[in-house]
Structure 1
Amino acid sequence: MDKTPRWALPMLFAGQAQKELFHNEALTLIDALLHGRAQSADVAVPPSAPEPGQCWVVADGASGAWEDHEGDIACWTEGGWRFLMPKAGLFIDLADRGHAIFHDGSQWRDGAIRNDGLYVEDERVVSERQAAIAAPFGGATIDAEARATIAAILAALRAHGLIAA
């Protein structure tokens, strides 16, 4: 086997000539994957002036140097574009979305934790933190049990950080 099974990193062999080339290629690919961050997952055309180390998740309809690499991670290096095929479980933080995406083995999906809340199956189940809710008071008829229950609910929401104190 001349490459690692998961990310196809080049392996070194005894007596191999120019080992530094294979070693450096492996380091370049690891650098792209380790704590991965991409500029966007919505771009299908390679940028005109990328900086070394910048990466993108190639969008559908890719053209130019990215043609036939839809869904791959494209990283610009001093030696040109390097492409990595995603594997199930890979998370990449996206600069333009402000949250991570992950690969489920067949496609990229938005992560559960986003700037505007927590999502389960792309449905927001916890939203942004809201303003404080005033504790119940007054009224012509005071129902102590109802007020105690509401106060307990508010205390739980505040304890979990879902609303301000």
Structure 2
Amino acid sequence: MTDPFAFETVTAKFALPLLHTGQAGKEAFVNEAFSRTDALLHCAVEGERDEPAEEAAEGDVWLVGENPTGEWTGHPASLACRQNGAWLFLEPRDGLRVFDKASSQERLFFGIWRKASQFVEPLGGTTVDVQARAAITELMVSLQAVGILPSA
């Protein structure tokens, strides 16, 4: 499924193929639409990498890095989905969120894939405010729990 052919009419956001009246071979269009929808619903990625994962299982989704190689060449920043023994590539749209299982946090696409950086608890300084530090630490733990910040 690595871009086998182009569909004449597709949806605007994720290029889901549309059917035409009297069209032969409808199952190919419907199956392609289901494959793309399956990859995008409840989207969680295994992680980010530049080369295809040899150990990828059916249904696994990866973020393609900025310098893809092998079968992923030409698809930087795409979602690479393992479907029917081949790679299906989906181009992200601004505002798309996925959960990155490798870093245990959400990733957000706006031209590039973005993620929060590792948070460091405040230490040292000339004036120590125990309550403020406790509040910051509690906020950090809460943001990690919902996947906004990476886990330590």
- Mapped partners of 2:34, 2:95: distance in 1: 21
Which residue does 1:60 correspond to in 2? Answer: 66
Question: CA shift at 1:14, angstroms?
Answer: 1.2
- Is the alpha carbon distance of 1:92 and 1:29 closer, same or farther for their aligned partners in structure 2, counting shifts above 3 Å? same
The one of 83, 105, 115 equivalent to 1:110 is: 115
Aligned residues: 126
Pairing 1:8–2:19 present: no
How far the C-alpha of 1:79 sits from its partner, in A, is: 4.6
Identity %: 32
d(CA) in 2 for partners of 1:123, 1:44: 22
Q: When the two structures are superposed, what TM-score results if normalisation uses the length of structure 1?
A: 0.66
- Give the aligned residue type for 2:114: R
Q: Which amino acid aligns with 1:101?
A: R
Runs (4+) of structure 1 exceeding 3 A deviation are none
| Partner SS state of residue 39, structure 2 | helix
With structure 2 as the length reference, what TM-score do the two structures score? 0.72
Gapped regions of structure 2 (runs ≥ 5):
1-7, 122-128, 141-152
In the TM superposition, residue 162 of structure 1 has moved relative to its aligned partner by 4.6
Q: Deviations over 1:65-90 (max 9, x none)?
A: 00011100000111511000100010
How do residues 6-45 of structure 1 correspond to structure 2 at under 5 angstroms?
6-41=13-48, 43-45=49-51
Aligned residue runs from structure 1 range 87-102, under 5 A: 87-102=93-108
Q: Which has the higher contact order (CA 8 A, sep 6+)?
A: 2
- RMSD, aligned CA: 2.9
Determine the C-alpha separation between the residues in 2 that align with 1:162 and 1:27: 40
Contact preservation (8 Å) 2:19, 2:29 = yes
